[in-house]
Amino acid sequence: MISQFYKDMTGKRSVIRDFFDYSMQREKEMGKDSVINFSLGNPSVPAPAEFEKAMIDLIQNEDPVVLHGYSPTLGRPSTRQAIAESLNRRFGMDYEMKHIFPTTGAAGALSHAIRCVAAEGDEVITFAPYFPEYIPYVTGCGPNLKVVPADIETFQINFEVFEEMMNPKVAAVLINSPNNPSGIVYTTETIKRLASILTEKEKEYGHEIFLISDEPYREIVFEGTDSPYITAFYDNSISCYSFSKSLSIPGERLGYVAVNPKAKDADMIVPMCGQISRFTGHNCPPSIIQLAAEKVLDLTSDLSVYETNAKILYNALTEMGYQIVKPGGTFYMFPKCPIEDANEFCWTAAKELGLIIVPSDSFDVKSHFRISYCVTTETVEKSLPLFEKLIKMF
Amino acid sequence: MISQFYKDMTGKRSVIRDFFDYSMQREKEMGKDSVINFSLGNPSVPAPAEFEKAMIDLIQNEDPVVLHGYSPTLGRPSTRQAIAESLNRRFGMDYEMKHIFPTTGAAGALSHAIRCVAAEGDEVITFAPYFPEYIPYVTGCGPNLKVVPADIETFQINFEVFEEMMNPKVAAVLINSPNNPSGIVYTTETIKRLASILTEKEKEYGHEIFLISDEPYREIVFEGTDSPYITAFYDNSISCYSFSKSLSIPGERLGYVAVNPKAKDADMIVPMCGQISRFTGHNCPPSIIQLAAEKVLDLTSDLSVYETNAKILYNALTEMGYQIVKPGGTFYMFPKCPIEDANEFCWTAAKELGLIIVPSDSFDVKSHFRISYCVTTETVEKSLPLFEKLIKMF
């Protein structure tokens, strides 16, 4: 019998999707130049040449039966070992292979991490603004997602409300820094305060509270930004990473779960991920991508265009009168709308100017909009007169 | 709080795993020649050269931002279209792109298909012998798995028991032909009779009953075997395919769901799969693998060694006195043990002779053993004197 639950979901429209569809339609009717699209979070720079070279080397020199053969359930051992060593070298951690579980991107990593530490009836707390897919990731395995409203002055954590919302049902706290959509990076002070509250609450409730850290933008941090390695500050923590943005390979589906070696049952969590995979049909990420990424773990694509674009946009838009919390990384910023209704503001931008930006409501914040500036600097420069016209309309 | 459910699972030993570990230990202690390993279902022939060539062409000639970029949620359109056309050409079907959902292998395909048509409290019926991972695939999304005992004379379907077990709670029937572990292919007669019972029961119960057909071995069928394209015989059917065996790329994780265009809500099921992905963190299979496979859809690896091995083993072992239902495809056969206890029989083979075969209990059948002959023909020939010694021990 056809599942009514999933069938009903297909009918629901996504606002981001509506804007994207409008931009496609406008391009078709009025030409490519009629649209400047800041709606999508797709990397705009190529993968490092070393990654492409590693792929070709593997195809030309490895035994294809091994190269394309099954990974062990927990992933390619050489890849897991190399990831542990890279993290230890770069962040002073003590990961061993047994703490690393390769996944199909951050989506796979989060789905596994959440199932490891939270179940039906538990609560998982996250902080607005947050990536809307957290809702299915969390609720899909049973727990309830509770959201701490945004501190729109800083987009750091609203600790007052957070402490009020803490209760013994909370099994995990889910954070995303550098943040999509705000571009904000949690400071060392924020992370220390969060860790200290969690430690205190663990004692009070008599059970562990896991910190799940979603870090696909970890490598995209701008000069001068304080960017702590989050899980180093709290023992019961799991880092969820993706190579989608750092290596510009989002379609190849590679990420990992890295379990803090000091976490409770640290040696059990990766084998548990292996079991969880069986229930979701996840299996390992692609073998050749694991083996190629292993060769370029300390490299990234040339990510400098994102910082260049951030500077140009931030300086020009604040000059025009937009209120923006200055992004410290990612390829997003999250300005305030000059009117309350973010949808009205963004539809005006789209229909009057062909400027495609995304209203903040999907991220559980009112009256803001997201600019995804993973585009060429030329496109950013072309957009500036449009942002100027836009703010003058209100 | 650490999930007790998944933690407990990590402690459970798999019998197949025990045999595999023993073979590794024996090789270490007594040398490589002390073991002949028939325990694993890994393809032993390389991917077609055309697949490797397609990979290199893509890397050298495509824009890397597009090549490694996000697939649309429902998969690469060109890949979906090419799969539909290939199936139509080869099996006289009328698939359109909208009926095809690329997945991470058959595991991904089954996990999606089951979630589409069965929910908590429903029953899914399968037939022994069956792949043990069906248990987590089915129970992981709520339904109960009910098993029709094997017809050990033919390994076709035990229809008498099947009809007794049918009841209004049955939402789906899950079959696997060509079959792991028996190597048997369901005949046209079997499929027609199954379809006719399902059609009748749909009318009786007043709801659809989906036929989910797990077909990773579809391309490995031996000469003279009747091998119908299953879903052509029943409207409410979903075919779950994997390129793991046909292209020898199990580690690259590519398969698909193909929805029968005549199924109820046929146009909805693929969009529903897209929604299901969000809850399991599945996302699309790797972009470059989709695009490379698209170029070689009508090809397979050179699979002839499997048929050669099947003939040699079947002829020699029946001559020695083993009772075997002759396999029609795959790279498995499933002989009867000369004693009741399959575990005792297989441990004797392993410890006395270094012959690693797998007892049938994991596949929900007593007193049989599985031979995975995806090995060189030389290995098969070396094994024959050992099989001869083995049967003489009982």
Q: What is the pLDDT of residues A183-213, one digit of tens each?
A: 999 999 999 999 999 999 999 999 999 999 9
Distances (CA, A) of A193 to A91, A188, A261, B394: 20, 9, 21, 70
Residue among A333, A334, A137, A327 at smallest CA distance from A240: A137
Percentage of chain A with pLDDT > 70? Answer: 100
Residue A300 per-residue DSSP state: -
A370 interface with B at CB cutoff 8 Å: no
Instruction: Look up the pTM and report it.
Output: 0.95
CB B262 within 8 A of CB A231: no
A11 has a pLDDT exceeding 90 = no
Q: What is the pLDDT of residues A241-274, one digit of tens each?
A: 999 999 999 999 999 999 999 999 999 999 999 9
Dist CA A186 CA A135 (whole Å):
22
B388 Cα to chain A: minimum distance (Å): 31
Quick check: B47 and A68 CB within 8 A? yes
A13 has a pLDDT exceeding 80 = no
pLDDT band of residue B9 (cuts 50, 70, 90) is confident
Average pLDDT over residues B147-153: 98
Dist CA A82 CA B351 (whole Å):
36
CB within 8 Å of A153: residues ≥ 6 apart: A325
Side-chain half-sphere CA neighbours of B82 within 13 A? 16
CB B245 within 8 A of CB B220: yes
pLDDT of residue B41: 87
Q: How many CB atoms lie within 10 A of CB A223?
A: 7
CB B365 within 8 A of CB B128: yes
pLDDT band of residue A109 (cuts 50, 70, 90) is very high
Quick check: B253 and A284 CB within 8 A? yes
Q: For residue A70, list chain B residues with Cβ-Cβ distance below 8 A.
A: 42, 250-251
CA A213 to chain centre: 9
CA B375 to chain centre: 18
Quick check: B253 and A285 CB within 8 A? yes
Dist CA A371 CA B353 (whole Å):
67
Quick check: B44 and A65 CB within 8 A? yes
Chain A segment 337-356 residues within 8 A of B by beta carbon are: none
pLDDT of residue B256: 98
pLDDT of residue B11: 80
Distances (CA, A) of B394 to A345, B337, B342: 82, 9, 12
Instruction: Tell me which residue in A251, A268, A280 faces B287 most closely, judged by beta carbons.
Output: A251
Q: What is the pLDDT of residues A266-297, one digit of tens each?
A: 999 999 999 999 888 887 899 999 999 999 99
Chain B segment 165-194 residues within 8 A of A by beta carbon are: 171
| Peptide bond preceding B181 in cis form (omega within 30 of 0) | yes
pLDDT band of residue B357 (cuts 50, 70, 90) is very high
Dist CA A132 CA B164 (whole Å):
47
3-state SS track over B350-392? HHHHCEECEEHHHHCCCCEEEEECCCCHHHHHHHHHHHHHHHH
Chain A segment 219-278 residues within 8 A of B by beta carbon are: 248-253, 264-265, 268-269, 271-272, 274-276, 278
Top residue of A5, A6, A10 to mutate, by most chain B CBs within 10 Å, is: A6
CB A76 within 8 A of CB A291: yes
pLDDT of residue B62: 97
Q: What is the pLDDT of residues A17-43, one digit of tens each?
A: 889 889 989 999 999 999 999 998 889
CB within 8 Å of A359: residues ≥ 6 apart: A15, A337, A342, A343, A345, A346, A368, A369
Instruction: Tell me which residue in A10, A108, A249 faces B275 most closely, judged by beta carbons.
Output: A10
Strand partners, B258: B100, B239
B52 Cα to chain A: minimum distance (Å): 7
The ipTM of this complex is 0.94
Q: For residue B264, list chain A residues with Cβ-Cβ distance below 8 A.
A: 2
CB B363 within 8 A of CB B333: no
Q: What is the pLDDT of residues A211-221, one digit of tens each?
A: 999 999 999 99
B111 Cα to chain A: minimum distance (Å): 5
Average pLDDT over residues B112-117: 96
pLDDT of residue B284: 87
Q: To which residue do tokens 């941090």 refer?
A: A221
Residue A140 per-residue DSSP state: T
Sheet holding B369-372, edge to edge: B332-333, B369-372, B358-359
Average pLDDT over residues B65-73: 92
Percentage of chain B with pLDDT > 90? Answer: 90
Greater pLDDT, B15 or B242: B242
Dist CA A281 CA A259 (whole Å):
22
Average pLDDT over residues A80-84: 98
Dist CA A162 CA A147 (whole Å):
9
Q: Is the dihedral of CA A198, A202, A207, A208 positive or negative?
A: positive
B4 has a pLDDT exceeding 80 = yes
B198 has a pLDDT exceeding 80 = yes
CB B43 within 8 A of CB B374: yes
| Tokens read off for A4 | 């009514």
Average pLDDT over residues B238-246: 97
pLDDT of residue A46: 97
Quick check: A282 and B281 CB within 8 A? yes
Quick check: A1 and B46 CB within 8 A? no
Average pLDDT over residues A324-328: 98
Distances (CA, A) of A354 to A33, A314, A341, B237: 9, 20, 19, 45
pLDDT of residue A20: 85
Distances (CA, A) of A328 to A362, B309, B318, B333: 22, 61, 72, 60
End-to-end CA distance of chain A: 51
Quick check: A107 and B250 CB within 8 A? no
A67 interface with B at CB cutoff 8 Å: yes
Chain A segment 82-121 residues within 8 A of B by beta carbon are: 103-105, 107-112, 115-119
Residue A101 per-residue DSSP state: E
Burial of B92 (0-12, 13-18, 19+ CB in 10 A): exposed
B13 has a pLDDT exceeding 80 = no
